[in-house]
Structures are given as C-alpha cells and as structure tokens.
C-alpha cells in the first residue's frame, strides 16, 4: 500500500491548481499521490500536521484522482485526518463527485 504524508511534502497546502502558486492540490496529486496510487494500486494519505486544509486543495487531490481513476477507486484510497475530522465527509463527497464525473478513455 502506498503511504503519503502531506506534512512531509508541505505544512502549508495551497490552492487547487499549480497556476495559483506553490504546493497546490494539482501538484500534490500529480507528483505524489497519483504515482503512489499507480505504483501500489492503493494509497493512504495522512493529512495531519499541516496549517489548514483548503477545500479546493482537497477536492483537486481526491476528486481529481477519482476523475482519473473512476469507480475502481472505491476502497483503494484511504486518508487520516485527526486534526480536522469534520473534513472527512467533504473528502468522501469529493471522491464520489469525481467518480460521477469520470469519463472512460477510449
């Protein structure tokens, strides 16, 4: 199982896209989370130990991965978020919305 700790990458997550500045959700997904997922077929992301979790960042990481992977993502992405437990429902919704937006590649 791939394990990724956000705080090892940055303690100040940024916005949704790379164009919005450093440490974006897009950058974290493309450079860290997605490669770990592809290598292991599963990834667990530890979100604790950072100075806030912007909603756009989280949607781009988790929803973006779901848009890439599709329904096969179910049961293959885990996360730990003890610092902000109220965000768990949001992350689950981002994943579901991403799966619904997924378009199979021809």
Number of domains the chain is built from:
1
Is residue 71 assigned to a domain? yes
Is residue 90 assigned to a domain? yes
Q: Which band of pLDDT confidence, cut at 50, 70 and 90, is reported for residue 105?
A: confident
Structural domain including 60 reads: 2-101
Q: Is the pLDDT of residue 106 over 70?
A: no
The arithmetic mean of pLDDT across residues 16-33, rounded, is 97
**What are 31's two structure tokens?**
């450079």
**Total-model pTM:** 0.94
pLDDT single digits (tens) 64-101 = 999 999 999 999 999 999 999 999 999 999 999 999 99
**What are 85's two structure tokens?**
């437990």
Is residue 24 assigned to a domain? yes
Is residue 70 assigned to a domain? yes
Residue the block writes with tokens 């979100």: 47
Smallest Cα–Cα separation from 44: which of 4, 15, 6? 4
d(CA 55, CA 65): 15
Is residue 106 assigned to a domain? no
Is residue 16 assigned to a domain? yes
Extended beta strands in 1-106, E state: 2-5, 43-46, 77-80
SS3 46: strand
Q: How far is CA 30 from CA 12, 22, 63, 65, in A?
A: 17, 13, 12, 9
pLDDT single digits (tens) 43-64 = 999 999 999 999 999 999 999 9
Is residue 17 assigned to a domain? yes
Q: What is the pLDDT of residue 103?
A: 87
Count CA atoms within 13 Å of residue 81 on its CB side.
Answer: 17
Is pLDDT larger for residue 57 or for residue 1? 57
Is residue 76 assigned to a domain? yes
């Amino acid at each position: 199982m791939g394990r990724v700790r956000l705080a090892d990458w940055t303690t100040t997550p940024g916005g949704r896209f790379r164009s919005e500045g450093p440490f974006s959700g897009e950058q974290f997904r493309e450079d860290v989370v997605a490669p770990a997922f592809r290598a292991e077929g599963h990834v667990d992301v530890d979100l604790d130990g950072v100075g806030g979790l912007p909603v756009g960042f989280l949607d781009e990481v988790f929803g973006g991965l779901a848009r890439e992977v599709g329904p096969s993502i179910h049961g293959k992405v885990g996360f730990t978020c003890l610092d902000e437990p109220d965000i768990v429902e949001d992350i689950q919704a981002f994943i579901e919305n991403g799966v619904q937006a997924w378009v199979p590649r021809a």
